[in-house]
Structure 1
Amino acid sequence: MNPFSTAKNLMNTALNLLPQPIQQNLPQKSEAFSFGDAVPILDGNDLSNYMECWFNGRWYEPQVSLEGLSKSWKSTPYLSSGIIFKRNFLANLFKPHTRMSRQSFEQIALDFIWCGNTYVEDVRSRLGNTIKFKPALAKYTRAGEHAGQYFYLSQSHRGYEEYEFPQDRICQIRETDIDQEIYGTPEYISALQSAWLNESATLFRRKYYNNGSHAGFILYVNDPASDPNDITALRTALKESKGPGNFRNLFYYSPNGKKDGIQVIPTSEIAAKDDFTNIKSITRDDTLAALRIPPQLMGIVPSNAGGFGDIKSATEVFYHNEIVPLQSRLLQFNEWAGDEVIQFKEYGLILPK
């Protein structure tokens, strides 16, 4: 017999022969605790700040998840609409070039705004001449170990593929970052918590409406003198009160009933204490502040009588303080290409005569 099994059996036998503690019927005490606390940004346990951009052996992984950013872009209309508004503003002023179409520039501008990185590929002929400049989607482009080395990751009908661009064929324009110098980070990243809260509040209210069981209250009957037929009728009325998006209140008539024979217990209330309106307004303001877009340019209805002010003045200030700096960053591509490929028209409002 295995000596280890024999020793284990002897130990279990000895433990069973030990005197067991006396179980006393102590009174149960109430207990309260909290859980699910929000994690602050300065929790001291963020390893990504120490790792910066992790090198996996072939390319550097972005510090911020691009998959998460692409999902967050669709979380709230204020974030996606603000990014598209900036993209449209830039595309409207762009002058098409023989080697860069307007469609290519729209993708370049969109990638730079939503993730802080944009990549432009120099497509050349067999003789080495540049045919056109084509955008490489920033969500799937990665920077390699060496300067001028880039990879493209794709999921197609052939499965997962990795493509390495020819050396020095990719121009990367990135937002500056304080943690690393390989990838850029979007300027609205500090407003993501507000965007997610906005989405959560909307989903909570949407699930409430889709639930369908919206009886306004429950009638609790403890009167023993009630007629059983009345109880059956009440049960039928409760079942029929369920319907999508319906709020129905039930009336129960009990003659000669006791004072507390019937109690009204509210169970579902549309005016829930989640402060839905304030959450939507505050998170909207946070998102627009991160994008630095005046609210009147986003089609937001003012809640005060005075409004947001002159939309013409707001547009001109937005152009000079926000669009012009974006244009100057995208003009870095001309230095890399050695040609004035990206050019912009002068901005001016078309006013009625």
Structure 2
Amino acid sequence: MRAALQDFEVFDNTYFLMIRNFLGGINRLVRLPAINVRVGTEKNYYLLDSSGGFTEYSANDIIHLNGGDVRQSIYGVPTYFSGIQSILLGEAATLFRRRYYVNGAHSGYVMVTFDLEDAQADVLETAMKQTKGPGNHRSMYLNMNSTIQGKPGYTKDRVQIIPVGDFGNKDEYDKIKQVTLQDILNMHRVPAGLASIMPLNAAGHGDLTNVREVYYDTETLPRQAIWSELNDQLPQRARIQFKEPRWLTDKTT
């Protein structure tokens, strides 16, 4: 049952194979891994195996809990799909910052020098190439001639560093991580306090007792209603029941 619950949370689909007795009644349910199940076109289901084969089941022997989708009715689609890009953004920011410090040279800029001799410019270019760690940010080196129409030009700085963009600085990194955190909490519909996340302000997360009760009413009960659909096909002795939370039973007593 725990594995079936996990299937539904990850894939928004859960599949049970009904094991019947000789009278056609249901003796028990066997969970089929949702990651390997495909819906057929002939009122059937397929369970794929690691060898590339499959086992076919009649739709009459499969209970399919489908979370639903507005575009089709074959599979349920998890609501967290909308936040995957935010997760990838947070991952990219973390990898960027880590490589930024592992690289040591803090590469990712354009370096411009003026009127260096070719030999000196070659030495500097070679040194820049050697400072770059694998998989990190590329830099560009330019050696410019400041002569203008045959006359010596003027530049205030003979060596200039032009940063391309610095997402490694603390303020920019913190903004990205905070936005990503909020998006993740939103897509999973979990209050930060119930997820054991430290508050970002002095006010905290408010009264967690009230947050817990609202979460139970708006998220837990609708989830339980989905699983209660199984009871339509289960015998009385095997129907799913949920215990009331402790705070409700304490109030009753």
Note if 1:154 corresponds to 2:49.
Answer: yes
2:13–2:76 CA contact under 8 A, matched in 1: yes
Distance 1:207 1:346 in 2: 49
Alpha-carbon deviation of 1:151? 0.8
Q: 1:282 aligns with which of 157, 169, 179?
A: 179
Distance 1:190-1:300 versus aligned 2 partners, 3 A rule: same
Note if 1:181 corresponds to 2:73.
Answer: yes
Note if 1:169 corresponds to 2:61.
Answer: yes
Which blocks of at least 5 consecutive residues in structure 2 are unaligned?
Answer: 135-154
Larger radius of gyration: 1
* Residue in structure 2 matched with residue 145 of structure 1 by the alignment: 41
Alpha-carbon deviation of 1:106? 1.4
Distance 1:161-1:216 versus aligned 2 partners, 3 A rule: closer
Distance 2:70 2:25 in 1: 37
- What is the percent sequence identity of the aligned residues? 34
2:17–2:32 CA contact under 8 A, matched in 1: yes
2:38–2:45 CA contact under 8 A, matched in 1: yes
Distance 2:75 2:177 in 1: 32
Deviation by residue 1:47-93 (Cα, 9 ceiling, x = unmatched) = xxxxxxxxxxxxxxxxxxxxxxxxxxxxxxxxxxxxxxxxxxxxxxx
Greater fraction strand: 2
Distance 2:37 2:234 in 1: 19
1:216–1:266 CA contact under 8 A, matched in 2: no
Which blocks of at least 5 consecutive residues in structure 1 are unaligned?
Answer: 1-104, 245-258
Q: 2:226 aligns with which of 329, 333, 344?
A: 329
TM-score (norm 1): 0.52
Distance 2:108 2:187 in 1: 41
Alpha-carbon deviation of 1:278? 1.5
Note if 1:294 corresponds to 2:204.
Answer: no
2:67–2:76 CA contact under 8 A, matched in 1: yes
Q: What's the C-alpha RMSD, in Å, of the aligned pairs?
A: 3.8
Distance 1:261 1:110 in 2: 61
Task: Say how many residue pairs are matched.
Answer: 222
Alpha-carbon deviation of 1:276? 2.3
Query: In the TM superposition, what are the counterparts of 1:7-156 in structure 2 within 5 Å?
Result: 105-124=1-20, 130-147=26-43, 149-155=44-50
Alpha-carbon deviation of 1:136? 0.9
Residue 193 of structure 1 aligns to a residue whose secondary structure is: helix
Residue 120 of structure 1 aligns to a residue whose secondary structure is: strand
1:115–1:184 CA contact under 8 A, matched in 2: yes
Greater relative CO (CA pairs within 8 A, separation 6+): 1
TM-score (norm 2): 0.70
Note if 1:197 corresponds to 2:89.
Answer: yes
Alpha-carbon deviation of 1:293? 1.0
Alpha-carbon deviation of 1:172? 0.5
Distance 1:345 1:261 in 2: 74
Deviation by residue 1:241-266 (Cα, 9 ceiling, x = unmatched) = 8899xxxxxxxxxxxxxx96864636
Note if 1:303 corresponds to 2:200.
Answer: yes
Residue 133 of structure 1 aligns to a residue whose secondary structure is: strand
Q: Which amino acid aligns with 1:265?
A: I
Deviation by residue 1:176-222 (Cα, 9 ceiling, x = unmatched) = 22222221111223223323322332333233334343489979697
